[in-house]
Amino acid sequence: MIWLLRNRNWVFASVAAILLLAMPEIAGNEYALRFYTLMLIYMILALGLNVLVGFTGLVSLGQAGLYAIGAYTAAILATRIDFGFVPCLVLGMLFSGAFGVLLAYPTVRVRGVYLAVVTIAFGIIVENIAIEWDSLTGSWVGISDVPQPGIFGLPIGHRTYFYLVGGCALIAFAVNVNIMNSRFGRAMIATSQSEIAASSLGINVTAVRTLAFVISAVTAGAAGVFYVFLNKYISPDIFSFGDSIRFLLMVILGGAGTALGPVVGAGVLSYLPEFLQQFGEWQAFAYGALLAIVMFFLPRGIVGSLSDILQRFLPVAPAQALASTGNPLEDLLGDGRSESGICLEAENVSLRFGGLSALDKVQTQVATGSIHGLIGPNGAGKSTLLNAVSGIYQVSSGRILFEGEDITAMRSYQLARRGLARTFQNTELFKEMTALENVWNGFYSHYRSGIVSAILRLPNYRTDEDRYRQAALALLDYVGLSSFAETKAKDLPFGFQRKLEIARALAVSPRLLLLDEPAAGLTHAEVDDLRDLILQLAEHGITIVVVEHHMDLVMAISSQMTVLDYGEVIARGTAAEVQENARVIEAYFGNPDMLDHAVSVSADKQVVDGVS
């Protein structure tokens, strides 16, 4: 039973395959068979849309436009140039895919509901082109006389066509499952949960979103082509805004983000209107009421909510034994490098937010292999400096050098790929993902195998996947979280979340690690743990910049420090030098008499939390 539930996708696919084979017999007549073929076409479309909506969390209300582009491409090619079924299918998919790229472009700037509006606009534009470009599309009259589909000159009958579309639906389902369980699927889900964390791990958010748009567009295009050869006729009213809504509903009602969800959703929403005919004039009302009731009781969709419930009865999968018990850092970073030189350099870095000067001509250097403390009162610009260094903010003027290379204009994901990792002041975990998946995402740019290998589950993909899964487990083990591998990040105690974020950053194999207040919110014992961890990382040759309010921690571990106040560097030097600096004492306590107090607090090993 448990085995059946764990492998439910493949069990479903096998049952579905048998059902497909028997369906033409069950259907009995041609009308019913046509209906089931159409249902399969919607399933294909919904599965593609699921990659976008379910994985990346982006909403498209223009899917009917992409569906129409596939359909019109096929209809025009088949009627005007006598293209066969296969070339029509290929070109329809390609053409829709190209529009997918176009539609993905706004995501660079536009988010949330605004993006939904852009996709609505796209759907309206396509619909209107279909109406107005009379000579090509036949306007309201549409295109009829689409020939019977054929392959290699052999005509395809209704039954064969049903099998063909059914086979493609099964392929679409398998592609969905394989993308979901690959680094691409995990990256898509990651971008929906924390965009900045994803890019800090080397994930190019724009590229991942474009990929999702293209996959959903190509499938919508294929569905459009299948539709044309089923219906033999198209006109603009088949691809209205209402259809885009229906396609989105299929995914949401079934369960966005699950592979079975869109299949169930498409099935239910295709069948529902037939079923509701008995309600006569109350049909539309019943339709709406049913939707509302289902979404109220099953908020994550039919499959999503039901599998959440089932999950509670499933025993947690036992944590796998690790292949090697060696130190994962040695595999990742080599054996404690000891190059000398400057790892990071800020040259006259200024950054303004409107009128506020958050960084003002900041000048500092971080020696390779050192632990460098960055301190200053709240609002001094510490986080802003880390954000500028890690490519999240663009500086207004000045230069930033990483290992001698000018990285001022580089983006976050590019820096991660060069060996710069970070954690965040307010942890930015992928909350709905497990601890294992969080760290696994950190290995994103180490993979050598691409999307095709992932979809086809080629050997090079399996090798990569196994290898980085093991590496992620080893890193979890290293920070003491191995027994939480299958726990969702949001369910971890806060101290463990901080550790998890460090483990995830280590997956990038950083040579420079930026820690933004890693001790904030930790207990005394956890702070001690953290200190040991940071010292160990430094021994492995990782250069570390640590922003911290826990004075005794940061003073104890830093060989050099930089002190910021109102965006300006007010002191630089060793912990002892900085402690004695009159401007530092002034900034922290506003009063030079507090000097003795500051030192004694530090000497007592008490924690000075949130000074300012």
Binding site for ligand ADP (CB under 6 A): 353, 356, 358, 376, 378-384
What residues have CB less than 8 Å from 597, skipping those under 6 apart? 589
Which option in Mg ion, ligand ADP, none does residue 384 bind, with CB closer than 5 to 8 A by kind? ligand ADP
| Shortest Å, Cβ 512 to ligand ADP | 18
| Shortest Å, Cβ 382 to Mg ion | 5
Q: Which is nearer to Mg ion, 41 or 375 (CB)?
A: 375
Q: Which is nearest to 442 in space by CA: 182, 203, 179?
A: 203
Q: Is 227 exposed, middle or buried (0-12, 13-18, 19+ CB in 10 A)?
A: buried
| Shortest Å, Cβ 517 to ligand ADP | 8
Which option in ligand ADP, Mg ion, none does residue 379 bind, with CB closer than 5 to 8 A by kind? ligand ADP
Which option in ligand ADP, Mg ion, none does residue 206 bind, with CB closer than 5 to 8 A by kind? none
What residues have CB less than 8 Å from 168, skipping those under 6 apart? 40, 44, 222, 226
| Shortest Å, Cβ 553 to ligand ADP | 17
Tokens linked to 286 = 């019943």
Q: Which is nearer to ligand ADP, 341 or 590 (CB)?
A: 590
What is the C-alpha separation between 272 and 603, in angstroms, rounded?
73
What does the DSSP 8-state code read for residue 256? Answer: T
Q: Which is nearest to 516 in space by CA: 326, 381, 410?
A: 381
Q: Where are the extended beta strands (E) located within 286-355?
A: 342-353
Which option in ligand ADP, Mg ion, none does residue 358 bind, with CB closer than 5 to 8 A by kind? ligand ADP
CB 242 within 8 A of CB 290: no
Inter-CA distances, 542 with 17, 412, 514, 555, Å? 53, 19, 10, 18
| Shortest Å, Cβ 566 to ligand ADP | 8
| Shortest Å, Cβ 607 to ligand ADP | 18
Tokens linked to 520 = 């904030």
Residues 524, 529, 535, 541, CA torsion sign? negative
| Dihedrals phi, psi of 396, to nearest 5 degrees | -80, -40
Q: Which is nearer to ligand ADP, 379 or 573 (CB)?
A: 379
Q: Which is nearer to ligand ADP, 465 or 568 (CB)?
A: 568
Q: Which is nearer to Mg ion, 219 or 383 (CB)?
A: 383
3-state secondary structure of 32: helix
Q: Which is nearest to 425 in space by CA: 392, 471, 472?
A: 392
What is the C-alpha separation between 522 and 48, in angstroms, rounded?
43
Which option in Mg ion, ligand ADP, none does residue 381 bind, with CB closer than 5 to 8 A by kind? ligand ADP
Can you tell me which residue has the tokens 């009162």?
A: 377
What is the C-alpha separation between 488 and 481, in angstroms, rounded?
12
CB 416 within 8 A of CB 508: yes
Q: Which is nearest to 39 in space by CA: 273, 242, 221?
A: 273
Q: Which is nearer to Mg ion, 192 or 383 (CB)?
A: 383
Q: Which is nearer to Mg ion, 33 or 520 (CB)?
A: 520
| Shortest Å, Cβ 385 to ligand ADP | 7
| Shortest Å, Cβ 427 to Mg ion | 13
| Shortest Å, Cβ 418 to Mg ion | 24
Q: Which is nearer to ligand ADP, 76 or 571 (CB)?
A: 571
Which option in Mg ion, ligand ADP, none does residue 549 bind, with CB closer than 5 to 8 A by kind? none
Q: Which is nearer to ligand ADP, 170 or 514 (CB)?
A: 514
